[in-house]
Structures are given as structure tokens and as C-alpha cells.
Amino acid sequence: MPVYACICAAVTTSQVEATILAGARTVSDIGERCYAGTGCGGCVNRLQELIEETEPSSDRVKELPRSA
């Protein structure tokens, strides 16, 4: 069963994470791309948490192994 990040727009957490990985950096970006957070606004805090948890950071990039 999917876990919904936004009930109003029926957007799952996985869909929001994919949107963030595709370049969304703000809650507004997410709303424009997949409509999460554009209804009642009850999920806005969760969307912000997902941005902080999912957004690629320069520190994470440095931790990736180098290719030969």
C-alpha cells in the first residue's frame, strides 16, 4: 500500500522524492511538478522534511566512490 505525502493530490512519498531528485528544491517546486501541497496545505511541513532528507547535497556527492 502506498504511503501518501499529500492526500489532497494523491501524491505518494516516493513520487515526491522522485520530484526532488529531478530538481525540485522548494515546496512550491514540488507543487508545480506534481501538485503535492497545493490543496489544504496540511502536508507542507512533511514536504519540507522530504526536501531536507532527499535533496542531494555536495557532501553526499563527495562520499560517492570514484569510477575507474
* pLDDT tens per residue across span 6-54: 999 999 999 999 999 999 999 999 999 999 999 999 999 999 999 999 9
Q: Which CATH number describes the domain made up of 4-55?
A: 1.10.10.1100
Alpha-carbon Rg for the chain, nearest whole angstrom, is 13
Asked if 51 and 28 touch (Cβ cutoff 8 Å), the reply is no
**In whole angstroms, how far apart are CA 10 and each of 20, 45, 62, 66?**
17, 16, 35, 39
Rounded to two decimals, the pTM is 0.79
Domain ranges of the chain: 4-55
pLDDT of residue 67: 61
Provide the grid cell at 42: 496540511
